[in-house]
Chains A and B, each alone.
Chain A
Amino acid sequence: MSNNLRILVATKRVIDYAVKIRVNAAGTAVETANVKHSMNPFDEIGTEQAIQIKEGLEKAKTGKAEVVVVSCGPAKVQETLRTALAMGADRAIHVESNDELQPLAVAKVLKAIVEKEKPDLVILGKQAIDDDSNQTGQMLAGLLNWPQATFASKVELGEKAMTVTREVDGGVETIKTALPAILTTDLRLNTPRYASLPNIMKAKKKPLAKLTVAELGVDVKPRLEILKVAEPAKRQGGKMVESVDDLVDKLKNEAKVL
């Protein structure tokens, strides 16, 4: 059995998960200037999965895989691509755009890349932690008319097919699909590796191709308009009560639950 695959992994540069988010003064977006950005955690899992598939094939001597990472956005997204290359991806594609990119636009861009690269498998994070849309993978499957396996927590690759365990409400579901297909990652799929020094150095020499949205001929015009962005209401601090009577009184008159 021999398996030669090309795996395309989509990655997004987002505000680091640990940063405390602030809404801008105008209430139209969150502050992104001078804020730490990292690769979307679900995309890190996707990159790790692609590399594990590649390493698995090489180790078992049953085939080879090429891991291609792609990201859309301004020049800064190249940082994210370099991270993926340092983790072990083979080459990167940067689709440059300085416009706001909504899920449908990204799905269209990715469709154009898929048509160019002809991958056997496209891996995406189930959602990006900045807008939490959870749409791009599904839209891409629709545009390509490919099968999709979303929210994957386990992936086993066969010849021209894969078995995917998905996390669904109340349990897990195992499905089998033919390749090519779309895979979106859930949290428990794997633990992404650290970028090692030798790999960070190697990553600098790996190819990073640049394309523009215009070159791909994709219309990325936003279809949705954001009306307002607001922070959740602040949680009220707890109160100490002096006595049981006091507690009962507060439950009755302030909380109005009795």
Chain B
Amino acid sequence: MLPITRRLLANAPRRLQAVSLRPNLALTTVARASVTASITRSAFSTFSKASFAATLSKDKAFTADKYPHLQRNQEFKKLADDDLAFFKSILAPSALTQDEGDLEAFNNDWMQKYRGQSKLVLKPSTTEQVSQILKYCNDNKLAVVPQGGNTGLVGGAVPVFDEIIISTANMSSIRSFDNVSGALVCDAGCILEVLDNHLAERGYIMPLDLGAKGSCHIGGNVATNAGGLRLLRYGSLHGTVLGLEVVLPDGTILDNLSTLRKDNTGYDLKQLFIGSEGSLGIITGVSILAPKRSKAINVALLGVSSFEQVQNAFKRSRDELSEILSAFEFWDKASIDLVKQHLVAGANDPLESEHPFYILIETSGSNKDHDDEKLNNYLEGLLTDEVVQDGVVAQDTTQFNNLWAIREGIPEACSKTGAVYKYDLSMPVPVLYDMVEDMRTRLDENGVLGEGKPVKCVVGFGHIGDGNLHLNIMAEKYTDEVTGLIEPFVYEWTAKQHGSVSAEHGLGLMKTGALHYSKSPSMMKLMRNVKDMIDPKGIMNPYKFLP
């Protein structure tokens, strides 16, 4: 409950004459947030992060032991005293982490799926320091893993063996903001939510938003080409990033921190680093174009009888809400059942009855009256034509947050259910949900799905607007039997639909072997050539990304 209270108290000045009321109002919110337990949009990631430290298990297997096909590249040097002496000569003592307990948080991903064995974390605070570190590592063949907020889902930001972790945590200053163009220039280690709050005070908004925004770093977002909730409206980072400052493995600082919207001079090299997952260099600075923050925001939650009707509602939203539509999310009944089971105490369900599918629509625009009218007409049309069965519209910010918290609580509820097999697929919208149903059928036919069986449930949710399905399969534990039933089936199925095996989570360690389902041999060969040219010694985030 604490995050809500704290968030509200942070707003305390808003009621000027009655400081004493604030704690009371916080209590109202707690009571009304019952659908979502303690989770609000901003508190979500913090929550995950906090529980993370508490659940670290000492005896968890190392990634290297779990995946025996991975072998340490013996050409890489092992960390020695002379290396430490060099790092100590360029960094402050507090910028080196060697304590075994402290290292745990950097060696483990938050899903508790991967565990590396690094003995050293470096937290440089300037681009020059990053350059010196990389040059030294490259000269001495020391492998490195760049790490931001460590909120990734595919094991891309944690070491596999003893790679040195280079964290962007100490690079967190905002360098400049242009109030006319909306161009923000900042260090790679700035936390997404901090940037968004900085922009909010100036009437702007970050063009991306995701559940982990309270922990994730903008550099990591760019390096993984993170998608998230605002992609539908503002597009991907390939469009909103204006420029990057990148340190190459040999220590070269590539200063391309442009704030220009237009620049057709030569290859657009920054695009190579967006989504490169630390395989080519370390992003140290980001220039990103922030849109104006909308004054009027509405959220509606709808209950729908079939996936076909979900698609109908989406098609009509593009007609009737076009320019104000800012999110169109869906989830199935299995998802909300988990949210109710794990995050709800004495719930006040927004919708009176249960539905096979749910839609969350967000609009944001510049004029509340206009937006209300458009949204009401749209919703009335859906109800009259029986596209949707029921729905609610948030009347105030509490309800707004509570409705969003259901959507954002799904991954959280999944991880509380058991070991989660997470797949993040993009494919044509009409076949999107067939994937979930086919997976259920397959697991059921093989006798592993259901009460008392290895797999507890299969849920589907995601961003309809982006053709992005999050398929989560909750099992008692990760086993070869279950893994064998899911993979490569899920990837082959996706490939047949010409979909992508990773829509927004990236490849990391998890999907390296699945790359060929989405990319042709000639494309993979060119990627390998690019990697070998920029990182000839292969020290950057090894064992991952490219097979």
Partner of A17 from the list B348, B392, B398 (CB cut-off 8 Å) is: B398
Known interface pairs A16-B397, A21-B15, A194-B394. Does A34 touch B31 (Cβ–Cβ under 8 Å)? no
Residues of B near any A CB (own CB < 8 A) = 8, 11-19, 21, 24-25, 27-29, 31-32, 34, 295-296, 300-302, 348, 350-352, 368, 376, 379-380, 383, 388, 390-399, 401
Residues of A near any B CB (own CB < 8 A) = 15-21, 23, 30, 34, 36, 38-39, 41, 44, 83, 86, 127, 129-132, 187-188, 191-198, 200-201, 229-232
Contact A129 B15 (CB under 8 A): yes
A131 to B21, CA, bound (A): 11
Closest A residue to B296 by beta carbon equals: A36
Known interface pairs A34-B295, A41-B28. Does A195 touch B383 (Cβ–Cβ under 8 Å)? no
* Interface pairs (12), CB distance under 8 Å: A16-B397, A18-B397, A44-B395, A129-B21, A132-B15, A187-B25, A188-B27, A194-B350, A194-B393, A196-B392, A200-B379, A231-B13
Contact A21 B13 (CB under 8 A): yes
Number of A-B contacts (CB under 8 A): 109
Known: A36-B296, A201-B383. 15 other contacts (CB 8 A): A16-B396, A16-B397, A17-B25, A18-B398, A34-B295, A39-B396, A41-B396, A86-B395, A129-B15, A129-B25, A191-B34, A194-B393, A198-B383, A232-B16, A232-B19
| Residues in A neighbouring B32, C-beta threshold 8 A | 191-192
What is the distance, in angstroms, from A56's C-beta to the closest C-beta of chain B? 17
User: Closest 6 interchain pairs by CB?
Assistant: A21-B14, A18-B397, A38-B396, A132-B18, A194-B392, A197-B391
How would you classify the secondary structure of chain A's contact residues: helix, strand, loop or mixed? loop
A17 to B23, CA, bound (A): 12
| Residues in B neighbouring A195, C-beta threshold 8 A | 392-393, 395
Partner of B390 from the list A39, A83, A196 (CB cut-off 8 Å) is: A196
| Residues in B neighbouring A232, C-beta threshold 8 A | 12-13, 16, 19
What is the distance, in angstroms, from A152's C-beta to the closest C-beta of chain B? 14
| Residues in A neighbouring B396, C-beta threshold 8 A | 16-18, 38-39, 41, 44
Contact B31 A131 (CB under 8 A): no
| Residues in A neighbouring B31, C-beta threshold 8 A | 187-188, 191
Contact B16 A197 (CB under 8 A): no
A188 to B398, CA, bound (A): 16
Closest A residue to B349 by beta carbon equals: A194
Closest B residue to A198 by beta carbon equals: B383
What is the distance, in angstroms, from A186's C-beta to the closest C-beta of chain B? 9
Known interface pairs A16-B396, A187-B27. Does A198 touch B16 (Cβ–Cβ under 8 Å)? no
A210 to B28, CA, bound (A): 32
Known interface pairs A17-B396, A201-B383. Does A196 touch B24 (Cβ–Cβ under 8 Å)? no
A11 to B490, CA, bound (A): 54
A23 to B21, CA, bound (A): 19
A129 to B26, CA, bound (A): 12
Contact B16 A230 (CB under 8 A): yes
| Residues in B neighbouring A23, C-beta threshold 8 A | 16
Contact A229 B16 (CB under 8 A): yes
Most B C-beta atoms less than 10 A away, residue of A17, A41, A191: A17
| Residues in B neighbouring A229, C-beta threshold 8 A | 16
Closest B residue to A18 by beta carbon equals: B397
Closest B residue to A186 by beta carbon equals: B24
Partner of A197 from the list B295, B392, B394 (CB cut-off 8 Å) is: B392
Closest B residue to A87 by beta carbon equals: B395
A193 to B31, CA, bound (A): 12
What is the distance, in angstroms, from A241's C-beta to the closest C-beta of chain B? 15
What is the distance, in angstroms, from B4's C-beta to the closest C-beta of chain A? 11
| Residues in A neighbouring B17, C-beta threshold 8 A | 131-132
Most B C-beta atoms less than 10 A away, residue of A16, A34, A131, A187: A187
Contact A201 B380 (CB under 8 A): yes
| Residues in A neighbouring B368, C-beta threshold 8 A | 36
What is the distance, in angstroms, from B359's C-beta to the closest C-beta of chain A? 12
Known interface pairs A196-B391, A197-B391. Does A30 touch B16 (Cβ–Cβ under 8 Å)? yes
| Residues in B neighbouring A200, C-beta threshold 8 A | 376, 379, 393
| Residues in B neighbouring A196, C-beta threshold 8 A | 351-352, 390-392
